[in-house]
Structure 1
Amino acid sequence: MPLISIILPTYNVEKYIARALESCINQTLKDIEIIVVDDKGQDKSIDIAYEYANKDSRIKIIHNKENLKLLHARAEGVKVATSDLIMFLDPDDELELNACEILYIHYNNEFKLLRCNFSLIGFDETYNLNVAHSYDEYIQLSGKHVYYDFLMWGVLINKQLYLDCLLLVEEYGLDNINFIEDVTMGFLLINKTNNYSYIENKLYKY
């Protein structure tokens, strides 16, 4: 069983997906799986993904029957993940090559959620995203409607916790949500567990 499953919800990202996949397959932690979720775009993203999958058996490609949008595309990837730990990579972003290794080293089952720091690529230096360093600070920021820590990228997540929150999505009637998906799942995740931690390492390139 791989140590980490990286899930890439993929829709019309042919300009970037090769770069994203390269950042996955070249991870210093080799015992990973890479799940590309075909969310029925109209470009050559999945063709490019197959080129990589033919060379690396760790890459799995699953196909949605129709465009499910981000929340459910991610969910389909989680459902087939074989690791107990998952992380999401948007295919127009990248991971530092030691991202999985460092996150795995720092992960503790007590945490359930472990977020890393990030680099902003192509943004003005004054652009800022907020980050919480603890569960208490997370709650304080969310009360101020500061949403960075709701985002699903740059965080190592216990798979069962995520699946439990998917059940809450159904219970609360949020199945059809197709905007602020990260806010929805982030809120459910952090409220289902008070086990949250953060490391300063900049491991995600946004």
Structure 2
Amino acid sequence: MLPIYNVELYLKECLDSLINQTLKDIEIICIDDKSTDNSLFILKEYASYDNRIIILEQEINQGPGVARNRGIDIAKGDYIMFCDPNDWYELDACEICYDKISKGDNDIAFFSLNRYLDDTGEFKYRIVTTNDFISKTPNNFWCGKNVFINFKIINKNNIEFPNYIIHEDHDFGLTLLMHTNNICCAETRLYYYRLRTGSIMNRGGKNTINNVPKILKKYLPIFKDDINQILNFYKAISCFYTTLLLRKKANNLEDIVRKNLLYQTYPVLFRNWYVSQLPERDDTFKLVLNVIYNHLFGDFDLEQNDNNIDIVLDCIAKLHCDIVNIKNKKIKDLTLEIDIFKNQTNIVKMYGTAKSRIHNQLSYKLGQAMIANSKSIWGYIRMPYILSYIKDIHKKEQIAYNEKIKANPNLKLPPIESYPDYKEALKEKECLTYKLGEAMIEADKSSLKLGYISLWFKCKNIQKECKKR
């Protein structure tokens, strides 16, 4: 499985190592992630004379996680291996791993790799023994390259790579470990890992605007277009997000011993990964990290915040930038910054988001029903009854809420303006769904209900305006 993006200089060497494997019964799935160089041309050239090569083309660049998941969806083999297209395998890698994993009841075969320094041509060798593997698992386990996996484990547990982050193989690898009983180690070097300029991990290269993923473009103004800071943030937030994903998955494990082991791992994982992304001299930021760490672990419930991760990331992005720019602040001022961040996440934890509040308003509910029922004649026929039912239920909910806060004023929801996503949530009021609902309410309030006569034409105008926007 190869996720491919702008690797024309290295792709042939990688493909040669795959098509010449001593184990011939393989498929080579290549996912071109909208390369802008000759990578796709090279792929098609190789595929023209080797029908084991399967090419998938992404319509837009989405990163290796999305690409690998698309490849997993169509894979037909009994086992799966991953390869970065700037790296390459030993010619007998597949055969050695297949022999190793098939001899026992093993789910994963783990093997060693060689680090190849592209600038100097130097190799760095290191054999990973079984004891090394056990002592480092699960704190440092990653699964993007040097593993041979029984595909049944992936299919049975719906394991996939998280999208739009780096270190996506850490999440994939540790999720595999959650569902794996037997692992074997082939104590030999089978993979060549190239350290080069310009890859997504940068591997020692220069940072440019082109290295900034689309998902982070919105943060550029916050960091004042400082590319190094935005990429450092990208690495750090990927670590944070990966840790939260893994904690959520561990919550669903039935194996209590394994669950407790993983729970002990995540704080260490978070601290190790996050700290490793920070400049060594930035003691202030590391101080703040410790405060974030103490606040988050133990009282941040991912189960309740799963749909609000973006809000948390936005808060952390602003915090990250603020701290980088205020190194001379006193500790108590830094703690205040963290308390503001904690208050914002607490609002999300206790009350949800401003976006969810708007979605719960009558205008949005009516608009949703209008859209859903305008797709068929039967929908139009039953629409008046459905809209009437929604209005009745909403009215009862409002009465129940008012009685609840009358009995206990502390249960009153905070002002919607205090939510961290308030400004972003206001966009929901400009969408087609909300506007249609508003038009319906306005027609219902009109004298003698005459507003219903022009409602159809008004809805058509709203659709045109929204489409134009």
TM range (shorter): 0.7 to 0.9
Task: Give the 3 Å change call, closer, same or farther, for CA 164–181 of structure 1 in structure 2.
Answer: farther
**Alignment of 1:187 onto 2:184:** no
Code of the residue aligned with 1:122 in structure 2: it is L
Q: Which residue of 1 aligns with 2:116?
A: 121
In 1: Cα distance, 2:107 partner to 2:70 partner: 20
Q: In the TM superposition, what is the alpha-carbon distance from 1:155 to its structure 2 partner?
A: 0.8
Q: Which residue of 2 aligns with 1:158?
A: 150
Counterpart among 106, 112, 116 of residue 107 in structure 2: 112
Alpha-carbon RMSD across the aligned residues, in angstroms, is: 2.5
**Contact 1:9-1:91 at 8 Å conserved across structures:** yes
Counterpart among 30, 48, 58 of residue 36 in structure 1: 30
Q: Identify unmatched segments of 5+ residues in structure 2.
A: 194-469
Matches within 5 A, 1:54-69: 54-69=48-63
**Contact 1:11-1:41 at 8 Å conserved across structures:** yes
Number of equivalences: 190
In 1: Cα distance, 2:128 partner to 2:76 partner: 29
Q: Which residue of 1 aligns with 2:208?
A: none
Counterpart among 15, 18, 41 of residue 21 in structure 1: 15
Q: Deviations over 1:124-166 (max 9, x none)?
A: 98968794616xx6564245x3x2x31320111111322345x
Task: Give the 3 Å change call, closer, same or farther, for CA 130–25 of structure 1 in structure 2.
Answer: closer
In 1: Cα distance, 2:159 partner to 2:90 partner: 32
4+ long deviations beyond 6 Å: 123-130
Q: In the TM superposition, what is the alpha-carbon distance from 1:40 to its structure 2 partner?
A: 1.1
In 1: Cα distance, 2:51 partner to 2:60 partner: 25
**Contact 1:190-1:196 at 8 Å conserved across structures:** no
Code of the residue aligned with 2:13 in structure 1: it is R
In 2: Cα distance, 1:72 partner to 1:95 partner: 23
TM, length-normalised to structure 2: 0.38
Q: Which residue of 1 aligns with 2:292?
A: none
In 2: Cα distance, 1:164 partner to 1:69 partner: 25
**Alignment of 1:92 onto 2:79:** no
In 2: Cα distance, 1:41 partner to 1:130 partner: 34
**Contact 2:115-2:123 at 8 Å conserved across structures:** no
Query: Which structure exhibits the higher relative contact order, with contacts defined as CA atoms closer than 8 Å and separated by 6 or more residues?
Result: 1
Q: Deviations over 1:110-130 (max 9, x none)?
A: 211101122222289896879
- Which protein is bigger by CA-based radius of gyration? 2
Q: Judging by fraction of residues, say which structure has more strand.
A: 1
Q: Which residue of 1 aligns with 2:395?
A: none
Q: Which residue of 2 aligns with 1:3?
A: none
In 1: Cα distance, 2:134 partner to 2:92 partner: 29
Q: Judging by fraction of residues, say which structure has more helix.
A: 2
Task: Give the 3 Å change call, closer, same or farther, for CA 155–162 of structure 1 in structure 2.
Answer: same
Q: In the TM superposition, what is the alpha-carbon distance from 1:17 to its structure 2 partner?
A: 0.6
Q: Identify unmatched segments of 5+ residues in structure 1.
A: 1-6
In 1: Cα distance, 2:126 partner to 2:73 partner: 30
TM, length-normalised to structure 1: 0.82
Task: Give the 3 Å change call, closer, same or farther, for CA 100–81 of structure 1 in structure 2.
Answer: same
